[in-house]
A and B are shown apart, each in its own frame.
Chain A
């Protein structure tokens, strides 16, 4: 496989440097990193695969990642990479789209894989809620890509690797939002992607307090609890880091149990990689049964208590 000559990766913080370096190395011969974080990460970034690092000065606390747009845009003009890769996070997507607007191109967002064919970068994306995969390529001179978290794994650090770093002067944006406050979201954080067992609930659950019944079953199964998007966003019964699916968390458990979930593609894409899928739904025509290894057609308010009783025996 051929590689692009030069790829610029833009890391909004040092946590994503590893996976962006891997993504960069997957398609670029030379991988250069724009690091929007303090300079402490330089050696580590080189070890993880960066050849050259542009350090942006973040010592001014008022500066938001977004404020570096003119600085990065200017760097692009000077360095002329063949592709720019960012994280598919909220900040990453904003930066990517604004850079793409300047470059008159479309961002290849949420890339699942990157491949260079005859000098062109081809990115794979889920569309139609995950019902289809699309291979797309930008026809302009520079491709702008964002990669989903967890798609590319950081390589083992190689402390023998050599690289250089330079600091880049900040270019003041002509307008910016003023940050008044940063509020930490309340509540604990979970990472369902590493859970071995997950019990998910959907709109079949009639009331928020009924989650206690689900929690009880999950505890007996040593499972984490997750949900569908409407439970997290419409009802707000659970935090967003618990909703599973194409726009939420992608699971990889040994066992998934879905209770009161219709099984629409946007949710099931996040469950697809489970070894075993179990479904409880009172409607025998519910789509989730098509994806299930084991299913039972009945009310969750009958099935879940009965299962809890069995587990306790």
Chain B
């Protein structure tokens, strides 16, 4: 099976700076692979382990994608090859443009049976890139996929909705966006991290894939919400006195 797994590099959530005027910035942030994209990678690795084939990782973004540690981070998790589309203009991409550029890159990579995406990117969590990608490639597209079982030339997919699970039979090619409980992503070993440095990386520019970024969304304003005023009465240690106080505080709210 030929599988492509799409991931996005995101800033570490804890590193967001909120300024006094409620504006926010990631200026001091570390970058990492989107938390939920790792489930897509792991799903791909498990499929290859069970039926054989090739897993390719694919990402689009700015220069941060060139970071050696981050390239190793993705390749050490199992993909055989990494394909990137890098341009400094490719920052804060909107969902449609991301999908459009991914579709162009996929056509460069060639034939595929499955493309796996995460449930949502950790920062924007817009939950649409994988779905738009599937539509643009004109193949079966399913979200909230919680189980993937190959069965001959078909694939049985479980899709987790609010109170039911749909069992679907599909014929590849398809683009699947997986849930976070489809698997527990493995932690790469030191050996895998070292081996990752030797795996092939193909870097495309925008002109290589013959597409451009034409923003279709305008971001008018981004600001941290005002925080509610809280009393911040913090007791140190579960002494009898403190437990009594805490109990009284709770009791009084229950009255």
Interface membership of A150, Cβ < 8 A? no
When distances are taken between beta carbons in the complex, the residues of chain A under 8 Å from B116 are: none
When distances are taken between beta carbons in the complex, the residues of chain A under 8 Å from B153 are: none
Q: Of B136, B163, B169, B225, which is within 8 A of A184 by CB?
A: B163
Interface residues on A, range: 35 or more
Interface membership of A60, Cβ < 8 A? no
Q: Which residues of B130-183 are within 8 A (CB) of A?
A: 131-132, 134-136, 139-144, 156-157, 159-171, 180-181
Docked CA distance A65–B24 (Å): 39
The 10 A-B pairs at the shortest CB distance, nearest first, are namely A97-B131, A101-B135, A97-B128, A298-B238, A135-B220, A101-B132, A181-B167, A293-B231, A177-B168, A295-B234
Residues of chain B at interface, number, CB under 8 A? 78
Interface membership of A77, Cβ < 8 A? no
Q: Which residues of B223-255 are within 8 A (CB) of A?
A: 223-225, 227-228, 230-238, 242-244, 246-247, 249-250, 253-254
When distances are taken between beta carbons in the complex, the residues of chain A under 8 Å from B144 are: 90
When distances are taken between beta carbons in the complex, the residues of chain A under 8 Å from B13 are: 128-129, 131, 264-266
B131 adjacent to A93 (CB under 8 Å): yes
Docked CA distance A102–B128 (Å): 13
Docked CA distance A296–B139 (Å): 54
Q: Can you list, as one digit per residue, whether each of B187-220 has a CB less than 8 Å from chain A (1) or not (0)? A: 0000000000000000000000000000111111
Interface membership of A233, Cβ < 8 A? yes
B interface with A by C-beta (< 8 Å): 13-14, 16, 18, 24, 94-97, 99, 120, 122-128, 131-132, 134-136, 139-144, 156-157, 159-171, 180-181, 184, 215-225, 227-228, 230-238, 242-244, 246-247, 249-250, 253-254
**A183 → B minimal CB distance (Å):** 4
A interface with B by C-beta (< 8 Å): 64, 89-91, 93-94, 96-98, 100-102, 104-110, 122, 125, 127-129, 131-140, 175-185, 189, 197, 221-222, 233-234, 236, 241, 246-247, 254-255, 257, 264-266, 272, 275-278, 284, 289-299, 302-303, 306-307, 310-311
Docked CA distance A137–B218 (Å): 5
Docked CA distance A196–B99 (Å): 42
B234 adjacent to A297 (CB under 8 Å): yes
Docked CA distance A44–B224 (Å): 39
B135 adjacent to A180 (CB under 8 Å): no
Q: Of A89, A122, A291, A295, which is within 8 A of B233 by CB?
A: A295
**B40 → A minimal CB distance (Å):** 15
- For the A-B complex, the count of residue pairs with Cβ-Cβ distances under 8 Å equals 237
Majority-rule SS of B interface residues: mixed
Residue on A nearest B239 in the bound complex, by CB = A298
B164 adjacent to A185 (CB under 8 Å): yes
A176 adjacent to B140 (CB under 8 Å): yes
When distances are taken between beta carbons in the complex, the residues of chain A under 8 Å from B247 are: 307, 310-311
Docked CA distance A89–B136 (Å): 21
Docked CA distance A106–B24 (Å): 23
A102 adjacent to B135 (CB under 8 Å): yes
When distances are taken between beta carbons in the complex, the residues of chain B under 8 Å from A290 are: 230, 232
A296 adjacent to B238 (CB under 8 Å): yes
> What would 7 more interface pairs be, CB under 8 Å, given A247-B120, A254-B253?
A90-B161, A128-B16, A131-B16, A184-B163, A185-B164, A257-B250, A296-B238
Residue on B nearest A253 in the bound complex, by CB = B253
When distances are taken between beta carbons in the complex, the residues of chain A under 8 Å from B156 are: 180
A93 adjacent to B234 (CB under 8 Å): no
When distances are taken between beta carbons in the complex, the residues of chain A under 8 Å from B168 are: 177-180
A139 adjacent to B96 (CB under 8 Å): no
Residue on B nearest A299 in the bound complex, by CB = B238
When distances are taken between beta carbons in the complex, the residues of chain A under 8 Å from B222 are: 127, 132-135
Docked CA distance A296–B235 (Å): 5
B233 adjacent to A140 (CB under 8 Å): no
A291 adjacent to B246 (CB under 8 Å): no
A176-B140, A298-B237 known; A105+B164 contact, CB < 8 A: no
A189-B163, A289-B234, A298-B237 known; A128+B217 contact, CB < 8 A: no
Docked CA distance A97–B96 (Å): 9
A131-B16, A297-B235 known; A276+B170 contact, CB < 8 A: no
